[in-house]
Amino acid sequence: MADDPVQTNPDHYRVVFENDRVRVLEYTDEPGHTSTEHHHPDSVMITAGSFRRRLHARGTSVDVELEDGAVRWLPAQDHYGENTGTTPTRAFFVELKEPDPHPVPGGPRLGPVKL
């Protein structure tokens, strides 16, 4: 499993809130930036600006384009990403500290999921 993004990418992730049930991270970067591989537990992602990214994990990639104010489920996953757009990325992750009692066989889908 990859490491905590606050440790692997400290210039881009910061903890803005934490208690015994959730941790909230803010993520920012600029066009062209590529992050170091890291782990996210099950999370809710909220965008604070429109952006375009490419996420990589387990030998596959997915392109993601999200509008300002988008809210997406991010199943637990290890990945790294690159800002492939022309705008900075700014998003918040509300990480759940309790694991999923019914994990998906074969692993989660890469990237945020619109439910």
What residue ranges do the domains of the chain occupy?
Answer: 5-96
Percent of the chain residues past pLDDT 70, beyond the cut = 90
pLDDT bucket at 108, cuts 50 / 70 / 90: low
> Which distant-in-sequence residues (6+ apart) come within 8 Å of 55 by Cβ?
61, 62, 64, 79, 80, 81, 110, 111
Q: Fill in the DSSP letter of residue 32.
A: T
User: Residue 114 above 90 pLDDT?
Assistant: no
> Can you tell me the mean pLDDT for 21-45?
97
Single-letter amino acid, residue 16: V
Whether the per-residue pLDDT at 83 is higher than 90: the answer is yes
The residues that bridge with 78 in the sheet, in sequence order, are 39
**Residue 46: how many CB atoms within 10 A of its CB?**
16
Q: Over 80: is that where the pLDDT of 110 sits?
A: no
Distance CA 88, CA 101 (A): 35
96, amino acid identity: L
The predicted-structure confidence for 11-23, as pLDDT tens digits, reads as follows: 999 999 999 999 9
What is the mean pLDDT of the segment spanning 69-97?
Answer: 96
- Looking at the structure, give the CATH architecture of the domain made up of residues 5-96: Sandwich (2.60)
- Tokens encoding 92: 């918040």
H or E segment to which residue 65 belongs: strand 60-66
CB 103 within 8 Å of CB 35:
no
Average pLDDT of 59-74?
96
pLDDT band at 33 (very low <50, low <70, confident <90, very high): very high
